[in-house]
Amino acid sequence: MIRIAPAGRVLAVAAVASLALTACGGGSNTATQQTGSAAPSSAAAPAAKGDGVLTIGTLLPQTGSLAFLGPPEFAGVDLAVKEINEAGGVLGKPVVKYDTDSGDTTTNIASQSVDKLLTQKADAIIGAASSSVSESVIDKITGAGVIHFSPANTSDKFTTINDHGLYFRTSPPDKLQGRVLGDLIVADGSDTVGILAMQDSYGTGLADNVSKTVQDGGGQVVERVDYDPKAADFSADVAKLKAKNPKAIVLIGFEETAKVIQELVKQGLTSDTHKWYMVDGNTSNTNYLKMPKGTLKGVKGTIPGANAPDDFRKKLLAVNPKLEDFSYAPESYDAMNLIALATEAAKSDAGVDVAAKLSDVSKGGEKCKDFKSCDELLKAGKDIDYDGVSGPVEFNDAGDPAVATIGIYQYGPDNKYATKALEYRTGNIAG
On whether residue 11 sits in a domain, the answer given is no
CATH number at residue 129: 3.40.50.2300
Answer yes or no: are the C-beta atoms of 211 and 231 closer than 8 Å.
no
Is 241 a member of any domain? yes
Q: Is residue 262 pLDDT above 80, yes or no?
A: yes
Task: Assign 47 a pLDDT band (cuts: 50, 70, 90).
Answer: low
Q: What is the distance in angstroms between the CA of the first residue and the CA of the last residue of the chain?
A: 19
Quick one: pLDDT band at residue 307, thresholds 50, 70, 90?
Answer: confident
342: preceding bond cis by omega (within 30 degrees): no
Mean pLDDT of 374-383: 97
* 326 and 423 inside one domain: no
Quote the percentage of the chain above a pLDDT of 90: 76
Q: In terms of domains, do 89 and 99 share one?
A: yes
CB 150 within 8 A of CB 128: yes
Q: For the residues 104-116, what does the mean pLDDT come to? A: 96
pLDDT digits (tens, 9 = 90+) for 314-370: 999 999 999 988 989 999 999 999 999 999 999 999 999 999 999 999 999 999 999
Q: What is the domain range of residue 254?
A: 174-304+405-428
- Residue 165: the pLDDT is 93
pLDDT at 420: 86
Residue 363 and residue 410 in one domain: no
CB 17 within 8 A of CB 199: no
SS3 3: coil
Q: Do 114 and 180 sit in the same domain of this protein?
A: no
% of residues, the chain, pLDDT over 70: 88
What's the mean pLDDT when you consider all of the chain? 89
Confidence class for position 37, pLDDT limits 50, 70, 90: very low
Residue 76 lies in a domain: yes
What's the confidence (pLDDT) of residue 325?
Answer: 84
Q: Is there a single domain that holds both residue 266 and residue 290?
A: yes
* Same structural domain, 105 and 69: yes
Q: Are residues 362 and 284 in the same domain?
A: no
Residue 44: its pLDDT value, please?
Answer: 59
Q: Using alpha carbons, select from 362, 364, 405 the residue that is nearest to residue 387.
A: 362
What DSSP string runs through 279-342? Answer: -TTT--SSTTTTSPTTTTTT-EEEEESPPPPHHHHHHHHHH-TT----TTHHHHHHHHHHHHHH
Into how many domains does the chain fold?
Answer: 2
Residue 19 to residues 135, 139, 362, 424, 429, Cα–Cα distance (Å): 19, 23, 20, 20, 7
Give residue 50's pLDDT.
Answer: 87
Q: In b/e form, how buried is each residue of 238-253, taking b as 16+ CB within 10 angstroms?
A: beebbeeebbbbbbbb
pLDDT at 161: 87
The answer to whether residue 56 scores a pLDDT higher than 50 is: yes
Q: Do 281 and 185 have their domain in common?
A: yes
Q: Check residues 238 and 173 and name the one with the higher pLDDT.
A: 238
- Cα separations in angstroms, 141 against 26, 57, 127, 161: 22, 11, 11, 13
pLDDT at 9 over 90: no
Report pLDDT for 324.
82
Q: Which of 55, 119, 150, 98 is nearest to 348 (CA)?
A: 55
pTM of the model: 0.82
Position 13 in a domain: no
Q: Which of 263, 301, 39 has its CA nearest to residue 168?
A: 39
The verdict on 275 and 421 lying in the same domain is yes
Angstrom distance (rounded) from CA 94 to CA 81: 9
CB within 8 Å of 79: residues ≥ 6 apart? 315, 316, 319, 333
Better-predicted residue by pLDDT, 257 or 394: 257
Assign 365 to helix, strand or coil.
coil
Q: For residue 408, what is the enclosing H or E element?
A: strand 403-410
296 in the same domain as 275: yes
81 & 162 share domain: yes
Q: What is the pLDDT of residues 208-261, one digit of tens each?
A: 999 999 999 999 999 999 999 999 999 999 999 999 999 999 999 999 999 999
Looking at the structure, tell me whether residues 254 and 349 fall in a common domain.
no
